Chain A
Amino acid sequence: MRHLSDEDIVQELEKLGQEFIPTPMQREKARQQLFQPTRQRKAFRMNSLLPSIVSLIVLLSVGIGFYVSIGESGATNVTASWEGVWLDQTSITSPTRYVFKFEKDSFTIEDRFTSFVYNPEMDKEKALRGYKIKEPSLVPGEYSNYTVKRKGDLYTITADEFTYTLKQFGPRRFAGEDGIEYSTQTYLDQIEVITDDVTPERLEIAQQNDHTFLIEWGSDSMDRGNHDFNTLEHGKLVVSTDFDELQRGQPVYYHTPSSVIAKNAAVPEMYIGRVVGLPGETVEIKGGQVYIDGKMLDTFYGKATRRGAGEEEYFNTVPSSAYRDEQGIRDYFNMDMAAVTVEENTVFILVDQWWRGYDSREYGPLPIGEIEGIITGTAE
């Protein structure tokens, strides 16, 4: 046996050394970490930095989320709704009596304070001592190109070189940034409203054709004070399978989701409800009122009712002997539901008498495929 020569070993060792050189990627990574303009001074140890990186990412995403949510609920331009508004000073803590008048392109501030005018002899110094706000910041005059932006209950009026923030503390009451209080003559229309002029409140007699069939319905889930939809009262319901796009307000006939039947076997397999939320919209119920994408749904099916009556009407017309649990009924009229996003190819369904039926509040948005047909009216 011949021993290995040193030469062979050295050659082989050189080859071995070649196997240990880094890949171009490792090299690039190291270069980037070393020669970034803001390079880290400490050795980069993934393991020790991972917690900080993860928490940084979490912090950032929370921050971004917060920022986005602020941005969304943040300043909205409500200038248009302030047109024609009069803002009268109500507080007497300042030697002023301001009146704001908002018009289409400008607004004016008048100071109708008169005490000094009527009594020129009065010692001004002494007179001012009685006022909490001695130097109001507002300068009477006409300001053009103004905007009013709303953020929560804060209204910021901006004109050239002029900003003034009002905080709303009552339906018609505002406090200025300097503490002066005002009131408006009218309520400001702050909430955008969605209406529905098409959907009739009562079912009408509908024509029948090849695409329609008749169903019976005995529940009072759609009752609006007239036993609405009840077959015994009004005749059978006409369901049409011939429909294209579902409209808001459209009553539909659909397969009851299995989750509902699993909970309550007495629920019929086919159910009736009204389309309230369309694909892509967000449906929320606040205080018994439906909001679509944050806009008030001002329709007969947009709020909690009992036999068609809202809270005020109900308690005014129904004798107190007829109900026992007033608080429970009031809670019903002021119910809340967290915002639900209606996915594509689904719709948000509500019955007309919320406490008497199952709908999307129970099972979430309904896949459009589950809808058998639209209810066009009653048969003759």
Chain B
Amino acid sequence: MSSEAWFDEYYDAVYSYILMLVKDSHTAEDLSQETFMKVIRSEKQFNGDSLVKTWIFRIAYTTTMSYFRKKNPITYYFDLHNTKHERSSEEIVLLNAQQKQFYEALNQLKPTYQQVIILRKIQGFSTKETSTILNWSEGKVKMSLSRALAAFKEELEKGGFTNETLIR
């Protein structure tokens, strides 16, 4: 399978994963593209130990993390563009009121919880796959997920969410 086929298969997932984290469509486009550049470049190094999707997401994860690392220490002090990334959810994608609350609650969580919820529950990776992507142990993934979900639920209920108010 060539990288172009991989692109067809996984671009949407990679993009949505990155967009949820960086909250800016242009940055997400750039980072997704960077991810696939790395995929194309190291296509031959893919050893088949894991699923292609897991491997690509590992790259997407490291790319996004290094973006945050690069951006934060310096831009925080010097670059006014920082505010650009602090967009409200309306500016990123069109969400209905409930989705908005969910997304904002998710953003209140600490970064590791966000990661584990997005990967496990939104992108639908297994515990093992998630552990490969984040380079965590499987135990840590399981533990973080249960804590993350609990915290998430708390966040939602803080915002007034109950079983009754949920629009299904």
Which residue numbers of A lie inside 8 Å of B, CB to CB? 1-6, 8-17, 19-22, 26-27, 29-31, 33-35, 41, 43-46
- Within the complex, the shortest CB–CB distance from A317 to chain B, in Å, comes to 77
Cβ A4 vs Cβ B15 within 8 A: no
1/0 contact string of B73-112 vs chain A (CB within 8 Å): 0000000000000000000111100110011001000000
Cβ B161 vs Cβ A41 within 8 A: no
Q: Interface on chain A toward B: helix, strand, loop, or mixed SS?
A: helix
- Residues of the A chain whose Cβ atoms lie less than 8 Å from the Cβ of B32: 22, 30
Cβ A6 vs Cβ B149 within 8 A: yes
- Residues of the A chain whose Cβ atoms lie less than 8 Å from the Cβ of B118: 17
- Within the complex, the shortest CB–CB distance from B59 to chain A, in Å, comes to 13
Cβ A17 vs Cβ B122 within 8 A: yes
Cβ A8 vs Cβ B168 within 8 A: yes
Cβ A35 vs Cβ B156 within 8 A: no
Q: Given A19-B99, A30-B11, A35-B7, does the pair A9, B152 have CB atoms closer than 8 Å?
A: yes
- Within the complex, the shortest CB–CB distance from A235 to chain B, in Å, comes to 79
Number of interface residues of B (CB under 8 A): 46
Bound CA–CA A6/B12 (angstroms) = 26
- Within the complex, the shortest CB–CB distance from A52 to chain B, in Å, comes to 16
Task: Kindly name the residue among B12, B19, B106 whose own CB sees the greatest number of chain A CB atoms within 10 A.
Answer: B12
5 shortest interchain CB distances as A-B pairs: A20-B16, A17-B122, A2-B163, A43-B34, A21-B12
1/0 contact string of B5-42 vs chain A (CB within 8 Å): 00100011101110110000110011011101100100
Cβ A8 vs Cβ B163 within 8 A: yes
Q: Given A4-B157, A14-B121, does the pair A30, B99 have CB atoms closer than 8 Å?
A: no
- Residues of the A chain whose Cβ atoms lie less than 8 Å from the Cβ of B1: none
Determine if B164 is an interface residue (Cβ-Cβ < 8 Å): yes
Cβ A34 vs Cβ B40 within 8 A: yes
Cβ B117 vs Cβ A13 within 8 A: yes
Bound CA–CA A105/B164 (angstroms) = 101
- Within the complex, the shortest CB–CB distance from B94 to chain A, in Å, comes to 7
Cβ A3 vs Cβ B157 within 8 A: yes
A-B contacts, 6 of them at CB < 8 A, read A2-B164, A16-B102, A26-B29, A30-B32, A35-B7, A44-B33
- Residues of the B chain whose Cβ atoms lie less than 8 Å from the Cβ of A17: 16, 20, 118, 122-123
Cβ A45 vs Cβ B93 within 8 A: no
- Within the complex, the shortest CB–CB distance from A361 to chain B, in Å, comes to 53
Cβ A4 vs Cβ B161 within 8 A: yes
- Residues of the B chain whose Cβ atoms lie less than 8 Å from the Cβ of A22: 11-12, 15-16, 19, 29, 32
